[in-house]
Structure 1
């Protein structure tokens, strides 16, 4: 394991074409809150130029009307955007969906780094719910990506990704937009690709019951490696986030 320097309490393990990032969020430090505030608008809606209080209000309105599961999913997804931004990835989408108050119907995240494109799928759950282990959630995220690539979904995920990337405030370059557009057209024409042609980021977030609990990092890493050994991919980054509670983020929105 290697410690990740900076504001995230993270460790990562790296092999060729395979990384595991393990992140603990027990509390929000002052430095961490400052980092969120600095990037909140960009993550939510790109280079819109809106004031952070206006964007926070939009986020509050979204979360207050949603179920607990949707809140968990939203909080988990936001944090992944934040972490990947800190790791040098460019977010080629917005956290807010293009339809007011709705939920994304495609991929949870589309990113680029060093001219390489990455696709993220995030799954989350409470510690005491059924199958709430990081390795199970990572497997579910991978299976979800596999279904989307193979066309086993109702909505065209590439079209949603293209709509996000075409938002002028996101600033996606033309080559990436063209790549996504072609994949969207192929999907429409029932021309599907294999998941082993893509760089993927399956992500798991487990929420504790508002009380921090230490866990066996070696066991987590071992189980993740075993699960990933059965995956197909071009390149993969697995992210496992353990968070004390949903309320940490919801309290931030009220601050």
Structure 2
């Protein structure tokens, strides 16, 4: 696993991650976090069997999905894993998001330094040979913009985020909770705000299979800089992940 955090400015940070195989250090970190990502930070681990149950639940979820959905779930999991390593606090349950119980809002909501960040994920199949991080990040940003600014009002994303943030097994933050509740009420009244008031995390995962290669950091910095320099937001953290295949993760779940 290789990762780089590049602070382009006070407003913009790039995160580039490449995962080919699962060395012991990465497996240990997954083992330490998988239960909390799935069930919440406050969900007590009573024994190692709890982790086994979590792995089985995720495996069962993947078995019932299309290839595109499987890719999306695995890519989101690894982005959540990475963000936790960078001290972002998770204010949602990955299990509820993926079981569609509160979908479709945002793909995640994080807190750090008394600020909350909205996360949106896009991924590409191994068979999509022309997939690029630029296109995925652009799609993720535009989806966030539509949800925040009321251009896609199929669901109230703030209500979904509020429901997650107030769950017992999620670390509670009173300020974030009150803000989400306020935004949810305003959304119902069609009082939408602009994306430039928000901290956002668009992510892109490309599965490469036999074509796997690590991210060319210099090349991608130039491309991401050109893409995001006109993005409106308060703070922007861009995640780009190159991954070999989802099979590594499925093999890990079987261990």
Report the TM-score when normalising by structure 2. 0.92
Q: Secondary structure at the match of 1:60?
A: helix
Asked whether the 8 Å contact 1:25–1:244 carries over to 2, the reply is yes
Distance (Å, rounded) in 2 between the aligned partners of 1:110 and 1:152 = 20
Asked whether the 8 Å contact 1:127–1:133 carries over to 2, the reply is no
Q: Which residue does the alignment assign to 1:91?
A: 90
Residue by residue over 1:26-79, the C-alpha shift from the partner in whole angstroms, topping out at 9 and shown as x without a partner, is 111101101110111110111222511111111111110000111111111111
Unaligned runs of 5+ in 2: none
Give runs of aligned pairs for residues 46-125 of structure 1, distance below 5 A: 46=40, 47-49=42-44, 51-97=50-96, 100=99, 104-125=103-124
Q: Which residue does the alignment assign to 2:244?
A: 244
Q: Which residue does the alignment assign to 2:137?
A: 138
Once the two structures are TM-superposed, the CA of residue 207 in structure 1 deviates from its matched residue by 0.4
The change in CA–CA distance for 1:190 and 1:112 in structure 2 (over 3 A counts) is same
Q: Secondary structure at the match of 1:252?
A: helix
Once the two structures are TM-superposed, the CA of residue 213 in structure 1 deviates from its matched residue by 2.5
Residue by residue over 1:5-39, the C-alpha shift from the partner in whole angstroms, topping out at 9 and shown as x without a partner, is xxx51112212211111110011110110111011
Q: Which residue does the alignment assign to 1:22?
A: 16
Q: Which residue does the alignment assign to 1:208?
A: 208
Q: Secondary structure at the match of 1:63?
A: helix
Return structure 1 stretches of 4+ with deviation > 4 angstroms.
98-103
2:28 to 34, 42, 57: 34
Once the two structures are TM-superposed, the CA of residue 214 in structure 1 deviates from its matched residue by 4.4
Q: Secondary structure at the match of 1:141?
A: helix
Asked whether the 8 Å contact 1:10–1:21 carries over to 2, the reply is yes
Distance (Å, rounded) in 2 between the aligned partners of 1:36 and 1:127 = 23
Distance (Å, rounded) in 2 between the aligned partners of 1:151 and 1:39 = 34
Q: Secondary structure at the match of 1:97?
A: helix
Report the TM-score when normalising by structure 1. 0.92
Residue by residue over 1:68-111, the C-alpha shift from the partner in whole angstroms, topping out at 9 and shown as x without a partner, is 11111111111111101000110001111168465831111100
The change in CA–CA distance for 1:227 and 1:82 in structure 2 (over 3 A counts) is same
Asked whether the 8 Å contact 1:206–1:242 carries over to 2, the reply is yes
Q: Secondary structure at the match of 1:169?
A: coil
Residue by residue over 1:202-235, the C-alpha shift from the partner in whole angstroms, topping out at 9 and shown as x without a partner, is 1000001245234533221111111101210001
Distance (Å, rounded) in 1 between the aligned partners of 2:58 and 2:173 = 27
